[in-house]
Amino acid sequence: MKTRTKTFLRHAARIILVFTFLFLAVGYYEVDQILRPPRNIPQGKTLRKFNIPYQEVDLHTSDGVRLAAWYTPPRKGTAVILVAHGFGDQRPEWVYEMLARSGYGVLAWDARAHGESDGEISTVGYLEVLDVKAALDYALAQPNVTRVGAWGGSMGAATLIRAAAQYPEIEALFVDSSFAAMEDEFDYLVPYPVLNPLAKILVEIRTGISLHDLRPVDAIARISPRPVYIVHSAADKVAPPDAGERLYNAAREPKFLWVEESVPHQQIYHANPRRYRKRLIGFFDEWLLGK
């Protein structure tokens, strides 16, 4: 009887080990696929529609990644706005058009592992800070450019918060639908007791980055005395709905907050285009051009 019991337990242990291995292997594969977002290729249709001149340029990060970008020189003043898109997205032409038609220089790029840029995986705002630094260096190297602001959406917003905290050359920051901390993002999107900790572990293994290090909420206070404008929706299904207020509370003056109650993730512009344009352009006019 004891022999049968031992044999049963050995078989059971083997089955458990096999299923555990398969579970981890599938989880690792799924996480790896998530970190390789779909490559949406920007077309430039909106820019051509409004006759906005732009150059196709390559940026090069300090860790050797080539980024595909568009650049339009400023027509008023000497200010360029850096434009950073969200995860799985592409260069946002609607933002580019608004800024360029208002006379600002604009530099927008595909983040690493996105669009036409090089890179194997996205780190959802960690190494992407190096993308921002490459864009910043390029902008400041252009003729008659002395001032730089930045707009970011979703992952791009989180990235720019961390970048602006490090690079004082970014003089004014407008962020739309950022997460406050990557751990909170996981808890919000993967609220399952077993899958949540497993996904966090696998992401850290795959990227070599601790999620504790990806916390825009801990960096945003260092942007002051430069201004930050935070836009968020209380109905966001991608970033936690309270992320905007958390970032605002952690930031120091000058700071501004615009929260909408019933708008999807990063859709406040589409719900209020005139108001969005007025606030965006007004913000940069005041803090970069002194209007």
Q: List per-residue pLDDT tens for the chain, 291 residues long.
A: 455 554 544 544 454 444 344 344 444 455 555 678 888 888 899 999 999 999 999 999 999 999 999 999 999 889 999 999 999 999 999 999 999 999 999 999 999 999 999 998 999 999 999 999 999 999 999 999 999 999 999 999 999 999 999 999 999 999 999 999 999 987 887 777 767 777 777 778 778 888 889 999 999 999 999 999 999 999 999 999 999 999 999 999 999 999 999 899 999 999 999 999 999 999 999 999 986
Q: Which residue reads 């002194």 in tokens?
A: 290
Token digits for 247? 């970032």
pLDDT of residue 30: 54
Is-contact 120 113, C-beta < 8 A? yes
pLDDT of residue 18: 40
SS3 of 71, please? strand
Is-contact 254 224, C-beta < 8 A? yes
pLDDT of residue 204: 82
pLDDT of residue 38: 84
CA dist 131 and 204 (Å) reads 20
Residue among 280, 282, 291 at smallest CA distance from 96 = 280
Residue among 61, 74, 178 at smallest CA distance from 109 = 61
Its CATH class, for the domain covering 41-192+209-288, is: alpha beta
Q: Which residue reads 């850096």 in tokens?
A: 82
pLDDT of residue 21: 41
pLDDT of residue 33: 58
- Give the Cβ contact number of residue 4 at 10 Å: 8
Is-contact 239 154, C-beta < 8 A? yes
Note the maximum CA span of the chain. Answer: 89
CA dist 6 and 9 (Å) reads 5
Q: Quote the distance between the C-alpha of residue 67 and its chain's center.
A: 15
Q: Quote the distance between the C-alpha of residue 198 and its chain's center.
A: 23
Residue among 75, 93, 74 at smallest CA distance from 83 = 93
pLDDT of residue 186: 78
Supply the mean pLDDT for the chain.
Answer: 88
